[in-house]
């Protein structure tokens, strides 16, 4: 690979086609072999299984780690943030454990806070800010949750909701979309 930087055991280990990548940490971007990737990964197993994603940043222990990442234009910062991400696109995930447990194949999400958007799988265009904000939302779209545990224990497929404040709509499960 040309014009790339790799520091750490197995960092950028399989890249053969292109450059413009920075991988720092044990197994950072280990599986990347992408044309014009322009990715940055810093941390133990950061972006470990990225297979075709481009123009993204992964910073932190296992940030964007174990999922087979194919998505583009993402910013992931935090310990195990978006750890199981797959086809996630145009998303910002910041915080320890943010969007960790879900296999994040969604687009256009902003998730900021410890454990925020933890179960997010295919839900898109959500804004989840605060510790455990929208933690159980997995397939829901177009939700805004701001505050500690705001929309935190809601039904998984909620749509078009706004929850602002500590525990706001915290246990919403009625299916009453658009609250």
Cβ contact 94:129 at 8 Å: no
**β-strand partners of 94:** 77, 112
Averaged pLDDT for residues 37-64: 95
Q: What backbone phi and psi angles, to 5 degrees, belong to 43?
A: 135, 160
Contacting residues for 158 by C-beta, under 8 A, at least 6 apart: 137, 140, 143, 151, 172, 175, 177
| pLDDT tens readout for residues 144-157 | 999 999 998 876 78
Q: How far apart are CA 110 and CA 115, in angstroms?
A: 13
Is pLDDT above 90 for 4?
yes
| Helix or strand run (H / E) with residue 22 | strand 22-24
Closest residue by Cα to residue 72 from 100, 114, 97, 37 = 37
Per-residue pLDDT, 69: 87
Per-residue confidence band for 175, with pLDDT thresholds at 50, 70 and 90 = low
Per-residue confidence band for 177, with pLDDT thresholds at 50, 70 and 90 = low
Is pLDDT above 90 for 66?
no
Q: Is the dihedral of CA 158, 150, 179, 81 positive or negative?
A: negative
Q: How far apart are CA 62 and CA 2, in angstroms?
A: 25
Is pLDDT above 80 for 1?
no
Is pLDDT above 80 for 29?
yes
Average pLDDT of the chain is 91
| pLDDT tens readout for residues 102-136 | 777 889 999 999 999 999 989 999 999 999 999 99
Per-residue confidence band for 178, with pLDDT thresholds at 50, 70 and 90 = low
**Residue appearing with tokens 């310990």:** 79
Q: In the chain, what percentage of residues exceed pLDDT 90?
A: 68
Question: What's the distance, CA 151 to chain centroid?
Answer: 19
**Terminus-to-terminus CA distance in the chain, angstroms?**
51
Averaged pLDDT for residues 43-62: 95
Q: What is the pTM of this model?
A: 0.93
Cβ contact 101:84 at 8 Å: yes
Q: What backbone phi and psi angles, to 5 degrees, belong to 41?
A: -135, 125
């Amino acid at each position: 690979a040309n014009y790339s930087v790799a520091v750490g055991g197995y960092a950028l280990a399989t890249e053969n086609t292109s450059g413009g990548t920075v991988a720092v940490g044990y197994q950072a971007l280990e599986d990347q072999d992408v044309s014009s990737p322009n990715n940055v990964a810093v941390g133990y197993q950061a972006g470990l299984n990225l297979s075709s994603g481009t123009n993204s940043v992964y910073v932190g222990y296992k940030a964007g780690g174990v999922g087979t990442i194919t998505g583009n234009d993402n910013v992931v910062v935090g310990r195990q943030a978006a750890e199981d991400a797959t086809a996630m696109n145009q998303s910002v995930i910041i915080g320890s454990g943010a969007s960790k447990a879900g296999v994040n194949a969604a687009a256009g999400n902003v998730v900021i806070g410890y454990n925020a958007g933890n179960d997010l799988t295919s839900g898109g265009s959500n804004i989840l800010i605060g510790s455990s904000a929208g933690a159980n939302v997995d397939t829901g779209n177009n939700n805004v949750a701001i505050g500690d545990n705001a929309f935190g224990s809601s039904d998984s497929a909620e749509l078009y909701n706004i929850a602002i404040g500590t525990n706001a709509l915290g246990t919403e499960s009625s299916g009453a979309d658009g609250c």
